[in-house]
Amino acid sequence: MRLDWPDFQLEVRPDGHLRFEWRRYGQVKSHVSFCDQLRLLPQGADGLSQWVFHLRSPAGPTPGLLVVRVDVPAERLPEAEEYTERLRLHFRIPEHRDDPAEEAPIQRVPLDAPQWIAAPAGVASEELFAAVMARVDGDPG
């Protein structure tokens, strides 16, 4: 299966090898069996949707997570939706993987905790924290 756009190509070979290629920048190769989550986020204010692939490396000495995000122009959205469904059906990739760590609420570190280098936080830090939390609360994905 191949999706070919002017500056980007996504290919999944019959043997499961997965390749993302941004023609001017580089490529990412993996295996579709490592993709444990695939989402197509709705259009933002800029008119772009976003594909989000979570690729977990196999268990071993250095397990990890690689998140590949691909901007999807509005005119390419129907193709991306169809390709997403084909990947989900053929390779059984869920839209969202249950992750207990993701469900844990975000909490601030108490000011007297050893994790603090300096306390209390400055005004700019408090403003940044408030802005980040507002963005997290409003994130659809």
pLDDT tens-digit series, residues 17-53: 999 999 999 999 999 999 989 999 988 888 899 999 9
Mean pLDDT over residues 112-130, rounded? 79
Cβ partners under 8 Å of residue 112, min gap 6: 119
Mean pLDDT over residues 2-20, rounded? 94
Largest CA distance in the chain: 56
pLDDT at 45: 81
Look up the pTM and report it.
0.66
Domain boundaries, the chain: 2-100, 102-138
Residue 130 has pLDDT above 80, yes or no: yes
User: In terms of pLDDT, which residue wins out, 115 or 64?
Assistant: 64
Q: Where are the beta strands (DSSP E) in the chain?
A: 2-4, 8-12, 17-22, 26-31, 35-41, 49-56, 65-72
- The string of pLDDT tens digits covering residues 54-107 is 998 877 777 788 999 999 999 999 999 999 999 999 888 887 765 555 556 777
Which top CATH class is 2-100? mainly beta
pLDDT at 25: 94
Residue 29 burial (CB count, 10 A) = 10
pLDDT at 81: 95
